Amino acid sequence: MNAKEKKMLLQKYPYLRYFFTQETKKMYWISRHSACWFLESDGLCYIEKKYGYSSKPFICRLDPFYIAKCADEYVVITKECPKLYVDGGNKNVSHKRILKNAQEAIDNDCILEKIPWSGRRLNLEKKILQGSKMFLDSSSYLDFSAYQISITTKNKNIAGIKLELLESVELWKSFFNIDDLNIDDKILTYELTAITSVIRTGSIDLRRMKEDKVPLALLALYFYMILFSKTRKVKTYVKIYKKILSDISLGLLYLRKDDLNIKSRSIEAKLSHLHLLQKLHMRKLMRKAKKRKGSID
């Protein structure tokens, strides 16, 4: 919290003075354990309930988001949060409110992460974010994926790109032995399109991935989300998307026809296989990075 917030809280809760553990030019930290002292059993904040939303420290008002810096610009990234939904949820979490709290975090130098992107990648992300608005009511996430690939690769042959994407989907369907999967699911299309930019910036794996591979990875995530939605009635979007993204769905991206020789095995074996493909690919990237660093040294 900043000095003003510290002073205000100490007036209400004098005992907090014993728990300040760290201090910089503008910021103060309070030591805590697994949960905030002010978080009540109903999941709500005691300070907000008693004194109002504006009395909460700005970092609490920004939650479940945090600020990362990329070059000379700032990016709002979401944390995993079971209460964050694409629609509904807390009325205080509006676009205007998020930006206001984010600006306060920037003013107080509360930047939790740096994203090592070039200006080109940052500009690409802006175009994807702006373009997503056109596809919110689309009947297929394939259209948005093709759009992203077209922007990244400067390939204007949208029909050809969609055909390649469909070939990947058919491979994944064959791997899972699925015939009746609706890739045009309108609800999931809207959900993933709305949250695509959050995932693109929030996933370490996607940040490291080549730009032209990211749309296919997101399509793999969408495909996996359709499978997931068949077994879940309530979806906590960000938490589920991120968990799947960091766990096994990206393994679909590296699936080849040779991998279909295990299609008759159990679903557990298939998921383990995808997880292994993902781990092997990440190790390969790390070896390449070390090799490049060694040659530079």
What the block records as the tokens of 262 is 């295990």
Lowest mean per-residue pLDDT among 97-101, 124-128, 228-232, 289-293: 228-232
Edge to edge, the sheet with strand 65-70 lists: 73-78, 65-70, 113-114
Cα(45)–Cα(54) distance, integer angstroms: 12
pTM above 0.75, yes or no: no
For 214-262, how does the pLDDT look when each residue is reduced to its tens digit (9 = 90+)? 888 888 888 877 776 665 544 454 555 555 555 556 788 888 888 888 8
Spacing of C-alpha 296 from chain mean position: 32
Where do the domains of the chain lie?
3-114, 119-293
Asked if 142 and 219 touch (Cβ cutoff 8 Å), the reply is: yes
Task: Tell me the pLDDT tens digit for each residue of 273-290.
Answer: 888 888 887 788 777 767
**Residue that has been written with the tokens 């030019």 in this structure:** 25
pLDDT at res. 235: 47
The whole-angstrom separation of Cα 248 and Cα 210 is 18
